[in-house]
Structure 1
Amino acid sequence: MKFKLELLNKIMPTVLYISGWRLFFYSNEGAEPIHIHAQKGDMECKFWVFVEKVDIKEAFSYNLSTTGRKEIRKLIFKNFDLIIDSWNTYFNK
């Protein structure tokens, strides 16, 4: 089990687990603009992160409820700097 988790974190590095959400990115996405994926239960989404504007924009979602959307947006804004720092550190930006 530990091996599977380590492999998963290499392919999809996890930035944060919070309130049942897993915030992560894929290890092959460094050429794309900064963004974050989030998953909780059967809800999934991706948000673009605009550093200069301190803003985010939903790129896609699957089974994301209105409540889930509000919750994940708040969590992304609350952890905005951590997401950016994690992206830049992982992709050596």
Structure 2
Amino acid sequence: MPVILRYQGFKLFFYSNEGNPLEPAHIHVRSPDGEAKFWLVPDVQLARNDGFDARTLKNLATVVATNKELLERAWNDYFG
């Protein structure tokens, strides 16, 4: 579970085994309050949410979009 970024108590990461066939690039965001998954391509989009309220999701979507290039590069480097 490579953690790519930490932000205000949130971990942004992906799982080492993302399925076969491999899913498109995405990032998981976890805190003690819940976990969400965001697609990175073609645009940042919420894939699922378990526990975060709308305000938190909006903030997280902004963080993911702001760091999209870093997150995609980490994904591509890892899964190559």
Question: Percent same amino acid among aligned pairs?
Answer: 40
Q: Is this contact kept in 1: 2:38–2:46, CA < 8 A?
A: yes
Greater helix fraction, Structure 1 or Structure 2: 1
Q: Which sections of structure 2, spanning at least 5 residues, go unmatched?
A: none
> Stretches of 4+ moved more than 3 A in 1?
none
Match of 1:29 in 2: 18
2:44 aligned residue: 56
Structure with higher RCO (Cα < 8 A, 6+ apart): 2
Residue in structure 2 matched with residue 39 of structure 1 by the alignment: 30
When normalised by structure 2's length, the TM-score is 0.89
Aligned-residue CA RMSD in angstroms?
1.2
Given that residues 36 and 50 in structure 2 are in contact (C-alpha distance below 8 angstroms), is that contact kept between their aligned partners in structure 1? Answer: yes
By how many angstroms is 1:67 displaced? 1.5
Within-5 A mapping of 1:1-93: 12-29=1-18, 31-51=22-42, 55-92=43-80
Q: Deviations over 1:3-23 (max 9, x none)?
A: xxxxxxxxx110100122100
**Larger-gyration structure (1/2):** 1
Aligned length: 78
The gaps in structure 1 that reach 5 residues or longer are 1-11
**TM-score, reference length from structure 1:** 0.78
